[in-house]
Amino acid sequence: MFGIESVDLEAIAVAVLVILPGFISMRVYSLIRPGDQPTLKDTVFEALAYGLINLGVMFWAVVWFFASTSIILQSALAALTLAIAPIAWPFVLDWLLNRLAAWGLLANRNKTAWDEFFARRQECWLIIHFDDGSKIGGRFSENSYATIYPNPGHLFIEELWQIDPDSGEFFGDAPISAGIILKPGDYRFVEIKSIVT
């Protein structure tokens, strides 16, 4: 019923060469830098923009693809243009934007102070303050975890420690504890103390 004549091969080629790599780049970038979910309309235009940039940079590979008679070379060029390069560009862009921010040419890229602190992965003591005035302490280290934008405030603290109620100093880890998991509504605020080495 539907022959090959009914298929717009040019539209398929545009989708494969431009829109597909754009969507791949967008998806990878959203994993590196989570953010608000864009609307479908914005997603299509953004994917088109990323895809056109990819096509512009990788145009030499497209030319080689059509000029080559080697299936192996064509396969490698197709993989490079349609998958490898679109996956790599978000990492390049993120690195470049981080450098520009470090040089003071861009504003800080973290959405909140929470993100800025926990993105450093800095080992520290945390004191969690609750609404009733009680508090717990913990060591935030390499196996701990804090979520960032767009869902900040969730914490996994790998070691609970006892806190002296008078001095506020940590004096011993909590017995039989494998840590604690907290969500934003569980606590009032988080106090941070440096670990003196």
Both 120 and 145 in one domain: the answer is: yes
Helix H or strand E segment including 65: helix 59-67
Predicted local distance difference test score (pLDDT) of residue 169: 76
- Domain of 146: which CATH number? 2.30.30
133 belongs to a structural domain: yes
Q: Is 173 helix (H, G, I), strand (E, B) or coil?
A: strand
Handedness of CA 37, 41, 44, 47 (dihedral sign): negative
pLDDT at 1: 46
Q: Examine the domain organization and report whether 97 and 121 are in the same domain.
A: no
Judgement on whether residues 129 and 80 belong to the same structural domain of the protein = no
Claim to verify: residue 77 and residue 129 sit in the same structural domain: no
* Token digits of residue 161: 């420690």
- In the chain, the largest separation of any two C-alpha atoms, in whole Å, equals 83
**Would residue 108 count as lying in a domain?**
no
* Secondary structure element (H or E) that encloses residue 114, with its range: helix 113-119
Q: Which residues constitute the domain of residue 120?
A: 113-194
The number of domains in the chain is: 2
Last residue in a domain, options 79, 102, 125? 102
pLDDT at 53: 93
From 69, 102, 135, the end of a domain falls on 102
pLDDT tens string, the chain, 197 residues long: the values are 445 554 577 677 777 788 889 999 999 988 888 776 667 677 888 888 899 999 999 999 989 988 989 999 999 999 999 999 999 999 999 999 888 988 888 777 777 888 888 888 889 989 999 999 888 888 899 899 998 888 888 999 998 888 877 777 777 766 667 888 999 999 999 999 887 65
Domain end residue (candidates: 102, 136, 171): 102
